[in-house]
Amino acid sequence: MFVRYLLIGLYIGGATVIGFIWWFIIYADGPQVTYGQLSHFHSCGQDTPNGRLYFPDKNFDCSIFEANAPSTVSLSILVTIEMFNTFNALSENQSLLVNPPWANIWVVLAVMLSMALHCMILYVPFFRSIFSTAASNTDEWIAVMIISFPVIILDEVLKLISRQITARSREKKKKTE
């Protein structure tokens, strides 16, 4: 179980960072900066040798690194992965195909409420200003889902491995008796 939670946690952390990087580098409506520019954003606008290396254009708009959208995408990925992970946690070792989420309507309602509250901080201007978020568009939500969903597949594979190890252990125990 420790290994399972470790791998899931590593995926969650990595996916959150990937969403941030995706918005800056790959996303068509993002600034499409290079990885070098993103990783050296702190030297943007500075007239230093390092700044010239990554930002040779004096007209480069450094304010793009202050945008709320990339951190909003990362937050949405984190929230969505945790909601998917809630369904994973319905059973320690059973697949979602055996123990589906709708078997516990209260968990489904709690996930729906959580997602509604998350959308509230993205789309209600009052909350958007408090939480420094940005309204996400369809393309951003598609990316959030694509980056978040593999946590279900990862946990299903890990549960399968766990069931196989448990079955082998039981067989071994029966043979020694």
Give 114-166 pLDDT, tens digit per residue. Answer: 999 999 999 999 999 999 999 999 999 999 999 999 999 999 999 999 989 88
Please, which pLDDT band fits residue 21 given cuts at 50, 70 and 90? very high
Q: Which residues contact 115 (CB under 8 A, 6 or more apart)?
A: 79, 80, 83
C-alpha 29/C-alpha 154 separation (Å) is: 30
DSSP 8-state class, residue 99: S
Interacting residues of 26 by C-beta distance below 8 A, sequence separation 6+: 32
Q: Residue 117 corresponds to which amino acid? A: L
Give residue 59's domain range. 32-66
Q: Are residues 38 and 92 in the same domain?
A: no
Burial class (CB in 10 A: 0-12, 13-18, 19+), 23: buried
Q: Which of 17-21, 35-39, 95-99, 146-150 has the lowest mean pLDDT?
A: 95-99
Is residue 101 a contact partner of residue 87, using CB atoms and an 8 Å limit?
Answer: yes
> 16 with 77, same domain?
yes
Helix (H) / strand (E) element for 137: namely: none
Domain boundary among 43, 66, 89: 66
What whole-number distance in Å separates Cα of residue 84 and Cα of residue 46? 42
Co-location of 76 and 155 in the same domain: yes
Looking at the predicted structure, is the pLDDT value of residue 43 above 80? yes
Are 96 and 21 part of one and the same domain? yes
- Closest to 4 (Cα-Cα) out of 160, 167, 169: 160
Shared domain for 77 and 115, answered yes or no, is yes
Residue-averaged pLDDT of the chain: 92
Instruction: Choose among 113, 74, 97, 109: nearest CA to 155.
Output: 97
Whether the predicted pLDDT of 101 surpasses 80: yes
Q: Are residues 132 and 48 in the same domain?
A: no
Position 35 scores a pLDDT of 94
Count of domains forming the chain: 2
User: Cβ(136)–Cβ(76) under 8 Å?
Assistant: yes
Same domain assignment for residues 58 and 83: no
What are 45-71's pLDDT values in tens digits?
887 776 678 888 878 899 999 999 999
